[in-house]
Chains A and B, each alone.
Chain A
Amino acid sequence: MQLQDIARVLRSKNAGPCLITFDVMFGNRKDFDRVCSQLHRLRTEVASRYGRSENEVRVIAYEPAQAVKITIPRDVMSGDPGDRDVYGAQQHAPLLEIEI
């Protein structure tokens, strides 16, 4: 099963001009727990899909909203010459197909 099959929300946005943050929210406790049990592997997958080292990927389980937050550095600072997504709102696509 892929992340996009069980996520209720899967989105990206800037967290300040240097970082991109992903919010993956789940609709029930079971799916949230399932992903929480694989956070280490999720971090490895994110690092490889975004061309980052693992220590640049921050993963936080956020129980109050049954969500996982993932934050990585941007390749290009928001709005710098060569940036493709100033708000960072469309950088989540590589997460959709991560197997869970």
Chain B
Amino acid sequence: MSAIGRLFDEFSVSRRPLRILGASGQLGYGIPTPALREGLTRRPDMIGCDMGSIDIGPHYLGSGSMAPTRVGAKRDLRKVLRAARTHDIPLVIGSAGSAGAAPHLEQTLDMLREIAAEDGLHFKLASIPADLSRDTVKAAIGAGRVHPLDTMEPLSPEEVDSATNLVGQMGVEAFRRALETGADVVVAGRACDTGIFAAIPDILGFPLGISTHMAKIVECASLCCIPGGRDTILATLDDEGFELESMALDRAATPSSVAAHSLYEQADPYDVREPAGRVDLRSVTYTKLDARRTRVAGASFEPAERLTVKMEGARPAGYRALLLCGAADPRFISRHQAILERVKGVVHDLVCEDTPEDYQLFFRVYGADGVRSWSAPPETWPREVFVLGECIAPSAERAEEVVRTTKQYLLHHGYEGRLSTAGNVAFPFTPPEVVTGAAYRFNVFHLMEVDDLVSLFPVQVEQL
């Protein structure tokens, strides 16, 4: 019998608290072994791992590549897979391969198949692609069922077609269907983090508000603790609430640290939005159990009138090339804005003699405005600045041409009051130009009303 099957059978006879291990909030960047090992001594009923996020930027979704290295991702997958199979408990992974589109899911499944073959592990593997049919999305646009999120413009069919990858965030429902196949390991494409951890509790009849709140916290492992960290966390869930304990002895889940976690990367700390509804955190209580453990209760789930799916897409934005250099001359530093504008003009005149201006050239001057676009310059200039030039152009060759030309004319640009006539900038190495390749940007961040989640997120099963 499958691990999940045994859990269903046991709970159909008598209920008890459910022990959930949040092994990693960023699978692929290393899972500290001592805390994972400690967690496994607590006889957990499942292991969950979040593997992705939209916060890492558009490159990964657009290109289909993972944010961590394959070596790192495979090492972490091996760790949690061996733990789950040794203890014969379900392993649930969400937002596979960083961005959760088909190439990310496929890379993750490939690694799991390799590990299974290499380590002689046998199990039932369910996977859930998150890629949306473009025809479905375009039909929804036509029916007025697609709505922009935050500051996005309305979605056009052209943007749908231009996204290299287009995914929807699946929720608890999709994970439930995958688990109900009797799978030992579930790997989802792009998913709400909560689905990873709330699906088994939902099947077993725990209140969805409480289990979703628990899921929202443990998906970041021990980030809700003092000091926050990536060590494995244990949640013990009952019908009234849940208890949190970091599996790293030097981390404490305190009422204020756990409450503060609701602020993290959320616009509203009282509200968790899911495809099937929202979780209201207004009445939540946080109670200290001891120095390292906190009990949380009081979240309630309100079903939505309409099912909605949050969509994410990224499209090509051209090709990127960089110029890296620095300056230490106070005359250059204090006049850099005018100098850089002038150099942009010189470059334009040279590279656009027989070609239209088909590129964008940006300068970020660290020490002045590298990190923020400030409304005014600083009162005193720093001793040195770092100048990052960036060109985005229709081809890598064009981007490279622009930054190489920029390098030459920035180096030798003659400005008023200049003393250092041999060169304006220092290069830390040669070549100081770097072609980073295709650039992407998010072009879909919209909500789609749907009638049926089952057809959007089909479950596939294979026996390894």
Check A58 for interface membership: any CB of B closer than 8 A: yes
Please, what's the 1-or-0 string for B341-374, where 1 marks a CB less than 8 Å from any CB in chain A? Answer: 0000000000000000000101010000111110
Cβ contact within 8 Å between B54 and A17? yes
Q: Across the interface, do B55 and A71 meet the contact criterion of CB distance under 8 Å?
A: no
B436 CB–A CB distance under 8 Å:
no
Q: Which of B255, B317, B369, B375 lies in contact with A51, CB distance below 8 A? A: B375
How far is B262's CA from A75's CA once the two chains are assembled, in angstroms?
25
* Chain B residues in 8 Å Cβ range of A66: 256
Residues of B near A58 (CB, < 8 A) are 267
Bits for A47-60, please: 1 = Cβ < 8 Å to B, else 0. 00001000000101
A19 surroundings in chain B (CB, below 8 A) = 150-151, 267
Evaluate contact between B59 and A64: CB separation under 8 angstroms.
Answer: no
B439 within 8 A of A: yes
Q: B360: which A residues are within 8 A, CB to CB?
A: 81-82
Q: Is the CB of B263 within 8 A of A81?
A: no
Separation of A74 and B268 alpha carbons in the complex (Å): 16
Q: Which of A13, A77, A86, A91 contacts B264 (CB 8 A)?
A: A13
**B439 and A71: CB pair below 8 A?**
no
Is the pair B440, A16 in contact by a Cβ cutoff of 8 Å?
no
Contacts of A79 in B (CB 8 A): 57-59, 440-442
B439 close to A81 (CB less than 8 A): yes
B442 pairs with A17, CB closer than 8 A: yes
A65 partner residues in chain B, CB cutoff 8 A: 256, 259-260, 262-263, 269
Residues of chain A contacted by B259 (CB below 8 angstroms): 62, 64-65
Query: Which residues of B246-288 have CB atoms within 8 Å of chain A's CB atoms?
Result: 255-256, 259-260, 262-270, 284, 286
Q: Closest Cβ of chain A: how far from B227's Cβ, in Å?
A: 12
Known: A69-B263, A79-B441. A85 touches B269 (CB 8 A): no
Q: Is the CB of A21 within 8 A of B284?
A: no
B301 neighbours in A (Cβ, 8 Å) = none
Interface residue B445 (Cβ < 8 Å from any Cβ of A):
yes
**CB within 8 Å for A64 and B262 given contacts A79-B58, A82-B362, A84-B364:** yes
A81 to B442, Cβ gap below 8 A?
no
Q: Which residue of B lies closest to A71 (CB)?
A: B267
* Bound-state Cα–Cα, A11 to B173, Å: 34
Given A65-B256, A73-B151: A85 and B267 within 8 A (CB)? Answer: no
Task: List which A22-43 residues lie within 8 A (CB) of chain B.
Answer: 23, 25
Asked if A78 and B442 make an inter-chain contact with CB atoms under 8 angstroms apart, the answer reads yes
Which B residues touch A13, using CB under 8 A? 55, 264-265
**Complex formed: what's the CA distance from A14 to B263 in Å?**
11
CB distance from A47 to the nearest CB of B (A): 13
Give bound CA distance, A21 to B268, whole Å.
9
Q: Is A3 located at the chain interface by the 8 A CB criterion?
A: no
Q: How far is the CA of A7 from the CA of B55 in the complex (A)?
A: 25
Q: Is B152 an interface residue (CB 8 A)?
A: yes
Set of chain A residues within 8 Å of B262, measured between Cβ atoms: 62, 64-65
What CA separation (Å) do A38 and B439 show in the bound complex? 43
* With A69-B263, A78-B55, A79-B59 as contacts: A18 and B441 at CB distance below 8 Å: no
Q: Is the CB of A18 within 8 A of B150?
A: yes
Q: Which residue of B lies closest to A25 (CB)?
A: B260
Q: Determine the chain A residues whose CB is within 8 A of the CB of B266 once the complex forms.
A: 15, 21
A67 interface residue (CB < 8 Å to B): yes
| A99 to B90 alpha-carbon distance, docked (Å) | 52
Do A81 and B55 touch (CB < 8 A)? no
A78 closest partner in B (C-beta): B57
- Bound: A13/B56 CA distance, A: 11
Instruction: Give me 10 A-to-B residue pairs in the complex whose CB atoms sit less than 8 angstroms apart, sorted by A's number.
Output: A15-B265, A62-B259, A64-B259, A64-B262, A65-B263, A80-B442, A81-B362, A81-B441, A84-B373, A94-B372
- By Cβ-Cβ distance, the 7 closest A-B pairs, closest first, are A64-B259, A18-B150, A65-B260, A79-B57, A15-B267, A79-B58, A65-B259
Supplied contacts A13-B55, A23-B263, 15 more A-B pairs, CB within 8 Å: A15-B267, A16-B445, A18-B150, A19-B267, A21-B263, A21-B265, A64-B256, A67-B260, A69-B268, A75-B373, A79-B441, A85-B372, A86-B57, A87-B55, A87-B57
